[in-house]
């Protein structure tokens, strides 16, 4: 029995260590080789059960969610900033993200370590207590060094501006040019310093996380089952909330937004995310089996369609006959298949949402408007895909209908969640 309980804690340990690994790498300007967004998401899920027992850990978990959004914005802007010939753009971007990250890091470190330490003190986990202070200090040191080493090389943009200033005297210009020419060496030193501190920090995190998981291997699973899994008014709304928030996040990708010919909110990601969410919902007893069956096909078809668009279709067609007839015909066939697959999967998703509402409180969710908006959005998507010339005429309206679909669907999901919370608060279970 003991071995089985410990095995249940392994996935959370793996998620935490994997998430920390994504933070351990150096960041060069705005370029993050191992995206912090992935690390924030992994740690967010790793803290799921512990957050049930401590409000500080729950706050830290929410901060990781905000950090995920910030890092996604960094990823979306990376190509544009790197491709810019104006060095001050990189300085501005790094400054904005460094300030946002520093603020979130302070909140995360304070909440996470105080919450975990308080839980460990209550449960008598002295092994973790002995290590927590050192790891907290190492974390603060590493994050500070990482931010400084990321920001420092970008300050050379100030020297670029001084060189461009016609009033700067020649001697100063020569000095500034020497400083600018040393930027690769400065970046190399900054990367090395960040890498060394990152390795030291990660080793400390590994030891501390392993100690915490070992000390709590027989505590968290038992308490979780006794205090939450067996208490409907606590457990069901919490599980449903995770599902609803995950679905709302997935809905954002229906916007299908591109910037500088880079699609950073791809429609295919919506259907890809629907698969794990619907599987988790089905496992929790909330249905969504039809969505789990149809979403993978929609994702595959739309992803292949985007791949074909990238290879064979011009992104900035200015005349209707700019692409060969054969390519236009192939694009039309692909568009029809992709739109049909998307509508088929979305229909399953909306019907499953209605079935969930009926199961919980015998009432249909208000999704008729959402269904209409998604259909119109996909129709315009297909027209723009068939011939990129029409993109300039369909993009705005497609975004409007997509935004309305997101709004109506998210509103219905939040209504389901709030109704379930109210019923559990009043009756201790779903009204039905």
Look at residue 262 in the predicted model and tell me its pLDDT: 62
Find out whether 248 and 273 touch, Cβ atoms under 8 Å. no
Residues linked to residue 258 through DSSP beta bridges, in sequence order: 263
DSSP code per residue over 141-191: HHHHHHHHHHHGGGGHHHHHHHHH-TTS-HHHHHHHHHHHHTHHHHHHHHH
| Contacts for 161-168: CB closer than 8 Å, 24+ residues apart | 161/88
Q: What is the pLDDT of residues 223-272, one digit of tens each?
A: 766 666 555 556 677 778 888 988 998 898 898 877 655 666 788 889 98
The DSSP output letter for 226 is: I
CA distance 253 to 276: 15
The DSSP output letter for 225 is: I
Q: What is the pLDDT of residues 89-124, one digit of tens each?
A: 777 888 888 899 999 999 999 999 998 888 888 877
Q: What three-state secondary structure class fits 306?
A: helix
Residue 2 confidence class, pLDDT cut points 50, 70, 90: very low
Query: In the predicted model, what is the mean pLDDT of the chain?
Result: 81
Dmax of the chain from CA atoms?
Answer: 82
Average confidence (pLDDT) over 19-35: 87
The dihedral formed by the CA atoms of 296, 300, 306 and 310, expressed in degrees to the nearest 10: 140
Q: Give 124: exposed, middle or buried? Use CB within 10 Å, 0-12, 13-18, 19+.
A: exposed
């Amino acid at each position: 029995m003991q071995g089985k309980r410990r095995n249940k804690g392994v996935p959370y340990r793996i998620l935490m260590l994997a998430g920390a690994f994504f933070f351990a790498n150096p960041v060069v300007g705005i370029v993050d080789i191992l995206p912090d967004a992935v690390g924030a998401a992994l740690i967010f899920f790793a803290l799921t059960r512990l957050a049930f027992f401590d409000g500080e850990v729950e706050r830290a978990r929410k901060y990781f969610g905000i950090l995920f959004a910030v890092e996604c914005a960094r990823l979306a802007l990376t190509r544009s900033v790197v491709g810019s010939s104006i060095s001050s753009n990189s300085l501005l971007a790094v400054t904005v993200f460094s300030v946002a990250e520093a603020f979130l890091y302070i909140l995360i470190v304070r909440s996470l370590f105080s919450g975990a330490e308080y839980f460990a003190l209550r449960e008598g986990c002295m092994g973790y207590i002995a290590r927590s202070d050192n790891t907290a200090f190492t974390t603060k040191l590493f994050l500070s060094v990482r931010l400084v080493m990321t920001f420092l090389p970008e300050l050379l943009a100030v020297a670029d501006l001084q060189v461009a200033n016609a009033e700067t005297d020649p001697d100063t210009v020569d000095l500034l040019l020497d400083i600018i020419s040393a930027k690769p060496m400065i970046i190399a030193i900054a990367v090395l310093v960040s890498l060394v501190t990152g390795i030291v920090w990660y080793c400390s995190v590994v030891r501390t996380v392993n100690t915490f998981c070992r000390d709590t291997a027989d505590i968290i699973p038992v308490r979780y089952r006794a205090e939450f899994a067996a208490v409907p008014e606590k457990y069901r709304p919490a599980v449903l909330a995770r599902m609803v928030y995950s679905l709302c996040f997935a809905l954002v990708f229906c916007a299908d937004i591109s910037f500088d010919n880079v699609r950073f909110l791809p429609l295919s990601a919506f259907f890809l995310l629907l698969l794990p969410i619907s599987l988790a919902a089905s496992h929790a007893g909330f249905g969504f089996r039809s969505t789990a069956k149809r979403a993978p096909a929609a994702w595959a078809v739309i992803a292949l369609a985007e791949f074909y668009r990238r290879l064979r279709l011009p992104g900035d067609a200015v005349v209707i006959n700019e692409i060969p007839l054969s390519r236009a015909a192939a694009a039309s066939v692909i568009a029809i298949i992709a739109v049909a697959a998307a509508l088929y999967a979305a229909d399953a998703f909306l019907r499953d949402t209605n079935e969930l509402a009926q199961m919980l409180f015998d009432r249909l969710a208000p999704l008729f408007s959402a269904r209409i908006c998604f259909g119109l959005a996909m129709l315009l998507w297909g027209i723009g895909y068939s011939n990129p010339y029409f993109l300039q005429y369909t993009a705005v309206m497609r975004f409007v209908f997509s935004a309305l679909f997101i709004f109506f669907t998210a509103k219905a999901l939040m209504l389901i969640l709030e109704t379930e919370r109210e019923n559990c608060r009043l009756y201790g279970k779903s009204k039905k």
